[in-house]
Structure 1
């Protein structure tokens, strides 16, 4: 979590994006427990990072936080209470891997050349709020499955479809993931009863680390160029992809779900990238 908390504050991937793979692939901890820990620790670390972002006056898109945050609540409930019990642990692990891998491919294509970006969310037709809300709902479902997702998916929509700079999208996704983590954490405490004494011990041990690491990551992110942020994300996702292929048993059902996730999200991300409606004036 020393590394994970720093990533949580500096990128659009929450600390759970580090904790979940390490817990499930290296330490062989049940994905359900890894998910609850991810939500619990992000509710502290990313909330601390959010306070630093706000205190520093870092620019964020509050409209995205409101729309996606509200829609992410029912998504979180659906993912945690309904969808998660239906999937095997291997399927859950690979679903997350191919979600972020498909995004990394598109992000790589997007940053092969210099491009113009918006510094705010375009507001032309009113459809933007519904698109962001849908992204928040789908991201909430993924967060309910693996403890992380609403930040990645909303970040993807902001960057790929609306052409908003990573400098704005990243701190926006940090605040959004913090709020969604709090909702998920409370859900597992008071409704699902998934916050076990063992997870509580892990959580208490990691809190002193993440309340320092996540704000430091947020401060560094405010100083970095957007292309550096994008390259950092791609590198982390590459590690996630390789480790999944190496450590997760590839049964026919897992391969089928993995390919389905890869195709669906790749088409979705490429479709957003292909839309020219929100292209800044002067772009190629």
Structure 2
């Protein structure tokens, strides 16, 4: 199991030398490279292939190794646009743009953020539709699932083809829990809440997640892992239960499984965000398709407005989703976190501008506070687990040296 830890240097004393003075341009260049060109964490075999690329690569080496990241963005774009343009021309989708143009425009940002961060594009679509456009939460939920089945699966293809490192067990077990969670949520939990209550729940839960991300980024030099360390039954069970909770969130907001799994594997299991973020992209893409299928085929009551929004937003999401995923895999974690903070601040402000009742504000405040406490405790448990793992490994190393 590979771990990413702060580097410790042990050097002999050397004569003092004055530090190199950098010009403003050099400082700006170094800052930009640190935060915007940090680089990707690839699967081990992909990193080895890239490192051992021959001086005169073949066409296959160029397409599938050297320029893999660009080919990864091109594949979903060409595939989806081919089918979309043929269908749009046949059924004249263009006649709906004068009345429904605002959602394709919204999804330029939505799918970009969905591919880049640990939040799905529904984290943008749902608040815009419910808070700004005053569309029923049920329609917003369905549209979020539908458009993420395009944007997030396009980003999923990009992640898989680029061979960016993901935590496969989190995807499998999280999805296994999310499926029954979504079915239970859409039939029995979603009907319990009114429209304003669903808006409050969305804003409160996602704001609590922003606090979780803040807690994570407050530990500047924490030890992290590329995979869940020392995986065992109880860790798999926790992933499954977290998937159930995330599936329930998906049932009323069209998004949630991604932030639940992200919070768990980063705060408790100490997986690096460079692995956790593409993991949630893959997870959300799979579960968006499942949720869309269940609502469209098994339940069959998706509103016509959601279908039209979906039809018009497909060409946008199939492009900006992979672009966001590509850029996000290169950005520093604090830059990605900043996008989440801004989004949640806008969503919270938008909710307050709708002038909700004081009861909703009070309940929402309690959820945010409770979420902050919960994520803080989760982070503490994660620190304890990390200390135990490191202590156990030190003992193993010591015993190995002794013997």
Task: Quickly name the TM-score band, shorter chain normalised.
Answer: over 0.9
Does residue 223 (structure 1) correspond to residue 326 (structure 2)? The answer is no
Q: Distance in 1 between matches of 2:210 and 2:304?
A: 36
Instruction: Select 1:174's aligned residue among 260, 265, 281.
Output: 281
C-alpha displacement of 1:277: 3.2
Matched, 1:42 2:148: yes
Q: Which whole-Å CA distance do the structure 2 matches of 1:208 and 1:159 have between them?
A: 33
Cα-to-partner distance string for 1:231-260 (whole Å, 9 max, x where unaligned): 2222222222222222251242x2353234
Gaps of 5+ in 1: none
Distance 1:106 1:65 in 2: 20
* Residue 129 (structure 2) pairs with residue 23 (structure 1): yes
TM-score of the pair, normalised by structure 2? 0.67
Superposed counterparts of 1:223-242, under 5 Å: 223-242=330-349
CA contact (8 A) 1:62 1:172 kept: yes
With 240-249 and 92-101 compared, the bigger mean Cα shift is at 240-249
The match for 2:306 among 193, 199, 206 is 199
Most deviating of 196-205 and 13-22:
196-205
Report SS of the residue matched to 1:237. helix
1:75 aligns with 2:181: yes
Change (3 A) 1:248 1:137: farther
Residue equivalent to 2:394: none
Question: Map of 1:234-273 to 2, 5 A cutoff?
Answer: 234-252=341-359, 254-273=360-379
TM-score of the superposition, structure 1-length normalised?
0.94
The 2-side partners of 1:71 and 1:224 are apart by: 30
8 A Cα contact 1:39 1:182, kept in partner: yes
| Counterparts of 2:385 and 2:286, CA distance in 1 | 28
Q: Tell me the C-alpha RMSD between the 2 structures.
A: 1.6
Please state how far the C-alpha of 1:192 moved relative to its aligned partner: 2.5
Could you tell me which residue of structure 2 aligns to residue 141 of structure 1? Answer: 248
Decide whether the 8 Å contact of 2:215 with 2:376 is kept in 1: no
Q: Secondary structure at the match of 2:223?
A: coil
Q: 2:270 aligns with which of 163, 179, 190?
A: 163
Runs of 4+ with >3 A deviation: none
Helix, strand or coil at the partner of 2:147? helix
Give deviations 1:182-204, integer Å, cap 9, x for gaps: 11111111232232222111100
Q: CA deviation at 1:264?
A: 3.4
The equivalent residue for 2:169 is 63
Assess if the C-alpha contact under 8 Å between 1:79 and 1:140 holds in 2.
yes
In the other structure, the counterpart of 1:274 is 380
Q: CA deviation at 1:127?
A: 1.1
Aligned length in residues:
281
Are the counterparts in 1 of residues 212 and 263 from structure 2 also a CA contact under 8 Å? no
d(CA) in 2 for partners of 1:111, 1:139: 22
1:53 matches 2:142:
no
Provide the rounded CA distance (Å) in 1 between the counterparts of 2:257 and 2:309.
Answer: 23
**Higher radius of gyration, 1 or 2:** 2
| Range moving further from structure 2, 69-78 or 124-133 | 124-133
1-side partners of 2:182 and 2:273: how far apart?
Answer: 25
> Which deviates more from structure 2 when the two are superposed, residues 48-57 or residues 234-243?
234-243
Partners of 2:187 and 2:231 lie apart in 1 by 37
Unaligned runs of 5+ in 2: 1-106, 392-403
Taking the aligned partners of 1:196 and 1:100, their CA distance within structure 2 comes to 25
Aligned equivalents of 2:217 and 2:321: distance in 1? 26
Find the aligned partners of 1:144 and 1:203 in 2 and give their Cα distance. Answer: 18
